[in-house]
Structure 1
Amino acid sequence: MADQTLNIIAVGTLDTKLAEYLYLRSQILEVNPSINVILIDTGRSETHHEAITISQPEVYRRSGDSRSLQSLPRGEVIKTMIKGAKSVIHDILNKGDLHGVVALGGSGGTSIAAAAMRWLPLTLPKLIVSTVASGDTSSYIAESDITMMYSVVDISGLNDVLRDVIGNAAAAVAGMAQRYASRHTAGLAGIGSDTKKRCIAITMFGVTTPSVTVARRRLEAMGFEVYVFHATGAGGRAMERLLSEGRLNGVLDLTTTELADELVGGVFSAGEGRLTTAAKTGVPQIVSVGALDMVNFGPKDTVPEKFRDRKLFEHNPSVTLMRTAPEECEELGRRLASRLLSNCINPDGTEVWLPLRGISAIAVEGQAYYDRKADDALFNAIRQGLNGSSIVVKEVDTDINDPAFAEGVARRLAELIKE
């Protein structure tokens, strides 16, 4: 490991931030002089310096755009340089031995760097020092594992504060790259890893946690490695991404609540790709209806006016829930069945389990969201949608958090994986 060269990409708009990037480079080399810093220029105009590894004209050429950058509006320049940067970084990644990516930027530079980083493999270190890191960064990070560090001051001229922030970032990315390389080397050597261990995803919400906990422990006892995804939109997308990368052997999709937010307009939608990737790839899966009794909004005063007379439940000061109505539940059942049917290449490896006595902790009899009519609409739409298909619909006379339900889905998923 001591003889291995670490390769870290630093990608940014060097026509406006050359001095800051050169300082970042110097600080990385101060941490570890053997690191190879690959400096990529994504600026609007060409910048000349011996430390630049891949020039702006080369990045621009790789975008495939023949228009003059100088004549384009700022938004188009950003889109063009994103294409070029992704192409360049893709080639470096494919050659092997990439150990980290780091960037500095305002909103434009952050947009370019984040777009170039998002598609990179999960757990490969990705760090952005940004002026926008203290706000809502979901549009930059999406379902990736980008780390963002607030720059405190603008990245416009070096000063004591920015030097310290950049120094911290340099030490962080160098350390992460070292750790990443160590894990990768150990994995190739078969050290400290069980190559036979299979991985399972489970989706969870607070109101399905008891069931997920029982199922997780049962699957871990069977020798599986379990990844639990919080169904907050990004969680669902992250799971779908891991499925597309071939890193999961099975899915226990207990909590499909993101479909409700997608339908009604809540804050935790995972988009139209949710509930499709396991079906498309043939990965064994058990799907349930956890937390489809609710749509998520922010603080109570942010709930849209048209929903103010609906059944609302203040989960905490930051999250307000709205009970899904029967007609919404009917449409959710249709969508769930349709996405499975239209995408499933392995229907024998897919089952839908319906907990007839309650689909969340607050939807059982005596709780705030108990609604037999709404649940029946959901169940009937799923039954009808999957009727005549090879996808099994199993009805269980318990609520979703009953330990018997959790044990049952865990055991059955293990059987489907073995089959």
Structure 2
Amino acid sequence: MNDAKVIVLSTLETKQDETDYLVTCLTEKGAKAQVLDISLASGGTILDSLGKLDAMEAQIQAAVRTLAQDLGRACAVVALGGGTGGEIAMRIFRSLPATFPKVLITPLPFDPRAAVAETSVMLVPTLVDICGLNDTLREVIQNAAAMVAGLCGGPRRTQVERSIGVTGLGSTEAAVKGLVSGLTVQGHEATVFHSNGFGGAGFARFAQAGAFKAIVDLTPHEVTRLHIAGVHIPMPTRFSAGGDLPRIVVPGAANFIGLGEPSTLAPDYLERPHYQHSGYFTHAKVTPDEMAQIATALIDALNANTGPRALIVPMGGFSHQDCPGGAIEDPALRDVFLETAHARLAADISLQVIDAHISSPEITTAILATLNTFMKETHV
């Protein structure tokens, strides 16, 4: 165990005994713990809605300032919290480096996808409420302490080489795998982000932080969520972050709307061609008008970037079910996309129209060749 410490975030007004037990477990595992109280300092009174929100914001800002000073001597930050404490901790976590070790011990009284979209957090569900110690909670805290202590067992890698930022989904998985394999052969490392309405926030954060030397937006599916329908979080820089980098865009998965279980869908979507991607997710084909809207938004964003850019359109299909016999095959939709591209794409952007499916070797070869040209031009 090195000399680094674990910073423990907790609302001591309501979680003192549980926090003390966590500190004891960490100490037994050889980890040094420093507790940072994120209580609302209400003195036991019940705050009204605005008062509570103001108190939460004050605690978040105070904790962020403290962590900015202490983080260099820390190996991990662990938080213990329910609804309010968990939200405070998650917002504090977002101020920390994206991959710095962060652990939240919580009964998960919220959907965690938005909270972890752009920062790495290890979630430890308590199964029971954090409201007094019991055998179940003790065991969960013991397990969490062992995990956190393990994070402090050695030096962390801080030097990260820039990679090729790539976007993907299960519906473009074959294309992603082919591209990643090709990049590896050429000596490049790829970092792939899941374009599911949440992963794009992480993609944008890394792009803004300078983590990429080039971008292949193979699966800009989130344009459908942002402009048509589907669950997502705000990501205003999804298509602009890293705008000066070499960038290749392919309309992967731009032909469907990503929705939930069939029982949750509005009748309009069930009347369209659709299929269940999994037990949780249903993909419904976009309409021609929606495709025009999607293409316009995507191409306008590409026009606004400043680096070397290319748009590659695979006229054989945009996703794995957009193929002969596929559940949402529709060549006419691809024509709508291409017509919009011809009408709106800036003259200085390379447009490559290839009569092949997105998963075909021809598309991978075109991406790699274009990327090599761009990187030579920019000396990346």
2:342 pairs, out of 353, 364, 383, with 383
After superposition, give the CA deviation of every residue in 1:312-345 in whole Å (9 maximum; x if it has no partner): 2222322111101111111111101111223x13
The Cα shift of 1:146 comes to 0.6
Q: Which residue of 2 aligns with 1:168?
A: 143
Q: What pairs with 1:57-68 in structure 2 (closer than 5 Å)?
A: none
Cα 1:250–1:46, aligned 2, differ >3 Å: closer, same or farther? Answer: same
Q: Which letter does structure 2 place at the counterpart of 1:398?
A: A
- Is contact 1:261–1:269 with CA below 8 Å preserved after alignment? no
The Cα shift of 1:97 comes to 3.0
Distance in 1, Cα, partners of 2:299 & 2:370? 20
| Correspondence 1:293 to 2:260 | no
Please, what is the CA RMSD of the aligned residues?
A: 2.3
Q: Which residue of 2 aligns with 1:312?
A: 274
After superposition, give the CA deviation of every residue in 1:254-278 in whole Å (9 maximum; x if it has no partner): 1111111222211356743321112
Cα 1:142–1:210, aligned 2, differ >3 Å: closer, same or farther? Answer: closer
Q: Which residue of 2 aligns with 1:79?
A: 57
Q: Which residue of 1 aligns with 2:34?
A: 38
Q: Secondary structure at the match of 1:44?
A: coil
Q: Which residue of 1 aligns with 2:332?
A: 373
1:352 pairs, out of 297, 311, 317, with 311
The Cα shift of 1:210 comes to 1.7
- Is contact 1:341–1:386 with CA below 8 Å preserved after alignment? yes
Distance in 2, Cα, partners of 1:226 & 1:12? 37
Q: Which residue of 1 aligns with 2:156?
A: 183
After superposition, give the CA deviation of every residue in 1:29-48 in whole Å (9 maximum; x if it has no partner): 1111xx4422111112289x
Size of the aligned set, in residue pairs, is: 375
Unaligned runs of 5+ in 2: none
Q: What pairs with 1:2-151 in structure 2 (closer than 5 Å)?
A: 4-32=2-30, 35-45=31-41, 73-93=51-71, 96-132=72-108, 136-151=111-126
Distance in 2, Cα, partners of 1:76 & 1:139? 22
Q: Which letter does structure 2 place at the counterpart of 1:391?
A: I
Cα 1:323–1:122, aligned 2, differ >3 Å: closer, same or farther? Answer: same
Distance in 1, Cα, partners of 2:74 & 2:267? 50
Q: Which residue of 2 aligns with 1:336?
A: 298
Cα 1:5–1:284, aligned 2, differ >3 Å: closer, same or farther? Answer: same
Cα 1:230–1:146, aligned 2, differ >3 Å: closer, same or farther? Answer: same
Larger helix fraction of residues: 1
Distance in 2, Cα, partners of 1:166 & 1:69? 28
After superposition, give the CA deviation of every residue in 1:48-89 in whole Å (9 maximum; x if it has no partner): xxxxxxxxxxxxxxxxxxxx9967533332233222222322
Distance in 1, Cα, partners of 2:330 & 2:277? 18
Cα 1:26–1:240, aligned 2, differ >3 Å: closer, same or farther? Answer: same
Cα 1:76–1:413, aligned 2, differ >3 Å: closer, same or farther? Answer: same
Q: Secondary structure at the match of 1:178?
A: coil
Unaligned runs of 5+ in 1: 48-67, 189-194
Distance in 2, Cα, partners of 1:303 & 1:315? 14
Q: Secondary structure at the match of 2:152?
A: helix
- Is contact 2:315–2:331 with CA below 8 Å preserved after alignment? no
The Cα shift of 1:160 comes to 2.2
Cα 1:77–1:198, aligned 2, differ >3 Å: closer, same or farther? Answer: closer
Q: Which residue of 2 aligns with 1:61?
A: none
Q: Which letter does structure 1 place at the counterpart of 2:333?
A: A
Q: Secondary structure at the match of 2:242?
A: helix
Cα 1:370–1:152, aligned 2, differ >3 Å: closer, same or farther? Answer: closer
Q: Secondary structure at the match of 2:271?
A: coil
Q: Which letter does structure 1 place at the counterpart of 2:250?
A: S
Q: Secondary structure at the match of 1:399?
A: coil
Q: Secondary structure at the match of 2:124?
A: strand
Q: Which one is further off, 211-220 or 198-207?
A: 198-207
The Cα shift of 1:386 comes to 1.6
After superposition, give the CA deviation of every residue in 1:269-296 in whole Å (9 maximum; x if it has no partner): 67433211121xx122111100111111
Distance in 2, Cα, partners of 1:17 & 1:287? 49
